[in-house]
Amino acid sequence: MTSVTRRRVKIAFGAVASLVVLSAHIGSPDTWFAGTAGPYPVTVLVRAPGVIPGLADVIVRVTGDGVRAVTASPAAYNAGERGVPPADTARTVPGRPGTWTTQLWIMAPGSYSVRVTVDGSLGSGTAIVPVSAVATRVLTMDRRFGWLLAGLGAILLLGAVSIIGAAARESVLSPGEAPDRRMRIRGRVAMVVGMVVLVAALAGGKAWWNAVDRDYRRSLDRRWAAETSVVTAGNGEPRLRFSIADSVWRGRSWRDRAASPLIPDHGKLMHLFLIREADAGVFAHLHPVSIDSATFETPLPALPGGRYRVFADVTHESGYARTLVAEAELPGTGGTVGTDPDDAWFVGEPSAGAAALARGATLVWEHRPAELRAGADAGLEFTVREPDGSIGAVEPYLGMSGHAVIMREDGKVYVHLHPMGTVSQAAQVALRERRPADTARGALGRRLTESGALAAHPGAHQVLEGRAAFPYAFPEPGDYRIWVQVKRASVVETAAFQVRVN
Amino acid sequence: MRSIARTAVAVLIAAALIAIGLIWDIAWHRSVGRDTFWTPPHMVEYVAAIIVGTSCGWLIIRSTVRGTGLEQEHMVRFWGFRGPLGAWVAVWGSLAMLVSAPFDDWWHNAYGLDVKIVSPPHMLLGAGMTAIIVGAWLMTLAEQNRSAEGSRKFPIVFAVASAILLLMLVTITMEYTALPNLWRGRIFYFVSAAVFPLVLAAAARSGRLRWPATATASIFMLASLVLSWVLQSIPATARLAPINNPVTHLVAAPFPIALIVPAAVFDLLHRAVGPGRDWRLSALLGVGFVVALLAVSWPLSGFLLSPAAQSPVFLAGNWDFSATLGAWRFEYWDTMSGGSRGSVVVAFAKVLLLAALFAAVSSRLGIALGSWMRKVRR
């Protein structure tokens, strides 16, 4: 109901909501999840509340018959069983069979596991949806609404002053007696004094409001400072260095640091994307390794020189997914080898509906909607087609049948998608495996890493059908670039698409 | 004339609903947690505002347009209209409540659902609610002052209105005064001394009953007790995380402050000192208030925190759903600590002395207000 709330605000009070930078994903605050709740395939959309404390809408699409009830509850990552409120029962959406909706009360910012439970003829099952809840919205007061409030406030102020005047002037007179000159002067003096007191109270109220506004803006989720540089390795080849420069992260000790440590997602501590700033014609998906807790490095492939946007996805032990943003100036030279076989890059023009892959195959955007609208299902379904038109095979790439990166061409919207949605798989594991005793920083991360629960699922030998669907809706209109990555014959291949969203 | 009296009673009912709605709403926040536009306590507040708006609005329009001369003689002028002073204050209050609604809604959209109870739109709402209660106070006061000498009807009604005002002030300051755990500490005496003597002194000066302040405090205590007994019998479940105390019923306000004792002292002193010595009277009231409050609250808090009092009758066990229960429930808070027993006693004596000064100032203001109120006829 965020959209409903926003519409209500717009209609009723003419207020304008504006989105500011987000770090969980850039400009794309809603959470999408596709997976299963026990025996039931579900797609879950959690609309970000914008302000916190606030209400997040949950929309659950359940496939299959015999579903009796859908419930949802938000559990703060460290709340434990006792801290979870009673689940809210979702209601069906009229005219959309299989779609259920309810609202979650998110009272504090941070990482949540939203538990969606489906109950039906096949039994009961729960899906864990990691949600990184942050305040992102700054609401400015619409001019008309502001004038309306100011006008009503002025009536209240003048009314209060007039009542004070009437009280001093004639309230103690006998019935029928008219106020004499002395009483009239008394009334005027009382009005002046009352006015001074009330205006002082109003000024105090305004100062108070300013302080609340300042505190709120400070509490907004802000983008962490990050830097890049190109350094030369011992073998003379260039390496890209990515540093988290923010004091929140680089505090003197762990005690000072506001965020929990990082855990690997798909086996990688950081997924770094380079996109050429000028035309988005160059794209690279790299996996820097940590030099220390704030510095990451990767060999630089031979990409064309120029300015690049840098998006680096990391997952915290709390389950909080964060995108770090920076820029890089690349020299135009590169190493001959990358150290990580999962690194991949692409230079070329985008396609509209079908992009060429190696050996004559194509990556086809199936059932591409004729017109894409912001907020509507983006219909991101892709298949690998062999030259004869049959569906080709893929191998798991970082544990998934496909990866997608979506960026609006101005860089203000960015999201990294999997067939399981916008969520980080590591976040889901961390939220599921957390025990009440995991209170020390790093304890859970170490346990999960040692157990192999956060490794990229090996299985190069595994063969999947070449299909990948990504649940998503474009958050805002604009020209978007989509890069889809699949792995075939041990090689990661990238295809680019371009769309206009209205 | 009868229409003014009828409106006064309507506004008094609205004032009572305002206080009940507020206390119910606080219980709701402490037990259910979720706050929406449509909660039952909010409905009570809206009904109260509607009663005021319609009854006073009708009286003002009717009196201005085609009121009898006699009726208009009992009214004050306001922007060309005529109405009783209390009605104007109450109408202002309902308008303030009305204005606070869109402001508060915008506030929630801008800064989040209520994290803090004390916010600018809530202050406006609180000012509106208080104004309705003050309006009822002034309207019943004018009725009392116009009624025949010896008539008891409106003096009692006025005491009820004073009690509602006292209930409102006790509720607004509950964070500092309500829990018996605080009754041997500092802040309880400071806040109580600064706020409550104002109403008690004004009631003692302007009420026409034989024991006006005592009647006011008695009605306040009885109303507070009954309200809490009723509220804690209503089932409720917490709906917001984290739930550290799984409540099963609405969390009611604790046992009320025994203001009946200081109030009786106020009535006695007021009668003993007599007219024309208001400064001396204020000093005596200041000391009398603190001594009487100490004399009753000290032993009463000891009883209320003892095992003997851990029953619903004494409103024990009313703790928020978010509270992590512990031994602190049975301890005294905000007490003087450190040093020898003697130094603690001296430090506490200084607290009481300062509180007596606050109470004297508050009493002086109350007496001045009460002296004006004695004369209010419109």
**Residue pLDDT, tens place only, B221-280:** 999 999 999 999 999 999 887 788 889 999 999 999 999 999 999 999 999 998 889 999
Decide: helix, strand or coil at residue B176. helix
Are A99 and A92 a contacting pair, CB within 8 Å? yes
Sort out which chain A residues have CB atoms less than 8 A from B1's CB and list them.
none
Q: What percent of chain B has pLDDT over 90?
A: 75
* Integer CA distances (angstroms), A189 to A166, A184, A195, in order: 11, 9, 10
Alpha carbon distance B289, B215 (integer Å)? 16
Alpha carbon distance A380, A471 (integer Å)? 7
Q: Do B78 and A162 touch (CB under 8 A)?
A: yes
| pLDDT tens-digit readout, A173-187 | 888 788 889 999 999
A224: which DSSP letter? Answer: P
| pLDDT tens-digit readout, A257-271 | 567 889 999 889 999
Nearest CA in chain A to B79: A162
Residue B36: Cβ within 10 Å count: 8
Alpha carbon distance B152, B158 (integer Å)? 10
Nearest CA-CA distance, residue A160 and chain B, Å: 7
Residue among A241, A411, A276, A286 at smallest CA distance from A347: A276
Residues 6+ apart with CB under 8 A from A97: none
Mean local confidence (pLDDT), A434-463:
81
Alpha carbon distance A169, A178 (integer Å)? 10
| pLDDT tens-digit readout, B282-321 | 999 999 999 999 999 999 999 999 999 999 999 998 999 9
Question: In the A/B pair of chains, how many CB contacts fall below 8 A?
Answer: 129
B34 at A interface, C-beta within 8 A: yes
Are B182 and B157 a contacting pair, CB within 8 Å? no
| Structure-block tokens of residue A315 | 């997952």
**Strands A110-120 and A344-347, bridge-based pairing:** unpaired
Are B351 and B294 a contacting pair, CB within 8 Å? no
Nearest CA-CA distance, residue B330 and chain A, Å: 24
Flag whether pLDDT at A227 surpasses 80.
Answer: yes
Predicted confidence at residue A177, as pLDDT, reads 83
The burial class, CB within 10 Å (0-12 / 13-18 / 19+), for A147 is: exposed
A81: which DSSP letter? Answer: G
Flag whether pLDDT at A21 surpasses 80.
Answer: no
| Structure-block tokens of residue A417 | 């998608």
Burial pattern A16-30, b for ≥16 Cβ within 10 A else e, equals ebebeebbbbbbbbb
B115 at A interface, C-beta within 8 A: yes
Look over chain A and give the mean of its residue pLDDT values, rounded to a whole number. Answer: 87
Q: Do A82 and B76 touch (CB under 8 A)?
A: no
* Integer CA distances (angstroms), A67 to A94, A114, A120, A471, in order: 15, 19, 4, 22
Predicted confidence at residue A27, as pLDDT, reads 87
Return the top range by mean pLDDT from A75-79, B9-13, B118-122: B9-13
Predicted confidence at residue A14, as pLDDT, reads 33
Sort out which chain A residues have CB atoms less than 8 A from B146's CB and list them.
175
Predicted confidence at residue A3, as pLDDT, reads 41
Q: Which stretch of A193-202, B95-104, B269-278, B332-341 has the lowest confidence by average pLDDT?
A: B332-341
Alpha carbon distance B98, B124 (integer Å)? 10
Predicted confidence at residue A246, as pLDDT, reads 87
pLDDT band with cut points at 50, 70 and 90 for residue A83: confident
Predicted confidence at residue A456, as pLDDT, reads 72
Q: Which stretch of A21-30, A401-410, B8-17 has the lowest confidence by average pLDDT?
A: A21-30
Nearest CA in chain B to A83: B242
Alpha carbon distance A406, B93 (integer Å)? 54
State the residue for tokens 């809530």. Answer: B122
Predicted confidence at residue B371, as pLDDT, reads 94
Alpha carbon distance A420, A418 (integer Å)? 5
Alpha carbon distance B78, B10 (integer Å)? 21
Are A48 and A20 a contacting pair, CB within 8 Å? no
Sort out which chain B residues have CB atoms less than 8 A from A160's CB and list them.
92
State the sign of the Cα–Cα–Cα–Cα dihedral A235, A240, A245, A251: negative
Sort out which chain A residues have CB atoms less than 8 A from B369's CB and list them.
none
Q: What is the pTM of this model?
A: 0.84
Q: Which among A148, A174, A205 is the nearest to B120, CB-wise?
A: A205
Look over chain B and give the mean of its residue pLDDT values, rounded to a whole number. Answer: 92
Mean local confidence (pLDDT), A27-49:
93
Residue among A414, A420, A384 at smallest CA distance from A494: A384
H/E element, B374: helix B341-375
**Torsion angle of alpha carbons B246, B252, B255, B258, nearest 10°?**
150
Mean local confidence (pLDDT), B140-168:
93
Predicted confidence at residue A5, as pLDDT, reads 39
Residue among A213, A191, A489 at smallest CA distance from A359: A489
Q: What percent of chain B has pLDDT over 70?
A: 98
Flag whether pLDDT at A336 surpasses 80.
Answer: no
Alpha carbon distance A105, B35 (integer Å)? 10
Q: Do B95 and A107 touch (CB under 8 A)?
A: no
Nearest CA in chain A to B91: A159
Decide: helix, strand or coil at residue A95. coil
* Integer CA distances (angstroms), A121 to A39, A44, A90, A102, B113, in order: 10, 20, 17, 21, 38
B110 at A interface, C-beta within 8 A: yes
Alpha carbon distance A278, A270 (integer Å)? 24
Q: Do A85 and B239 touch (CB under 8 A)?
A: yes
Q: What are phi and psi of A484, to 5 degrees?
A: -115, 135
Nearest CA-CA distance, residue B14 and chain A, Å: 20
Nearest CA-CA distance, residue A109 and chain B, Å: 11
B218 at A interface, C-beta within 8 A: no
Q: Do B88 and A13 touch (CB under 8 A)?
A: no
| pLDDT tens-digit readout, A308-324 | 999 999 999 999 999 99
Flag whether pLDDT at B187 surpasses 90.
Answer: yes
Q: Which among A17, A145, A166 is the nearest to B76, CB-wise?
A: A166
* Integer CA distances (angstroms), B228 to A336, B182, B233, in order: 78, 19, 9
Flag whether pLDDT at A461 surpasses 70.
Answer: no
Flag whether pLDDT at A361 surpasses 80.
Answer: yes
Q: Which stretch of A56-65, A76-85, B317-326, B364-373 has the lowest confidence by average pLDDT?
A: A76-85
Are A300 and A242 a contacting pair, CB within 8 Å? no
A52: which DSSP letter? Answer: S
| pLDDT tens-digit readout, A122-155 | 999 999 999 998 888 888 888 999 999 999 999 9
State the sign of the Cα–Cα–Cα–Cα dihedral B23, B27, B29, B32: negative
- Can you tell me the ipTM of this complex? 0.88
Mean local confidence (pLDDT), B21-38:
91
Q: Which among A12, A54, A85 is the nearest to B112, CB-wise?
A: A54
Q: Which stretch of A20-29, A76-85, A331-340, B52-61 has the lowest confidence by average pLDDT?
A: A20-29
Nearest CA-CA distance, residue A183 and chain B, Å: 13
Decide: helix, strand or coil at residue B340. coil
Residue A207: Cβ within 10 Å count: 9
Mean local confidence (pLDDT), B147-155:
88
Sort out which chain A residues have CB atoms less than 8 A from B76's CB and list them.
166-167, 169-171
Residue among B15, B373, B370 at smallest CA distance from B198: B370
Residue among B201, B208, B210 at smallest CA distance from B165: B201
Flag whether pLDDT at B117 surpasses 80.
Answer: no
Interface test with B, best of A10, A149, A163 (most B CBs within 10 A): A163
Q: What percent of chain A has pLDDT over 70?
A: 92
Query: Which of residues A12 and A421 earns the better pLDDT score?
Result: A421
Residue among A498, A486, A490 at smallest CA distance from A357: A486
| pLDDT tens-digit readout, B65-89 | 877 766 777 888 888 888 899 999 9
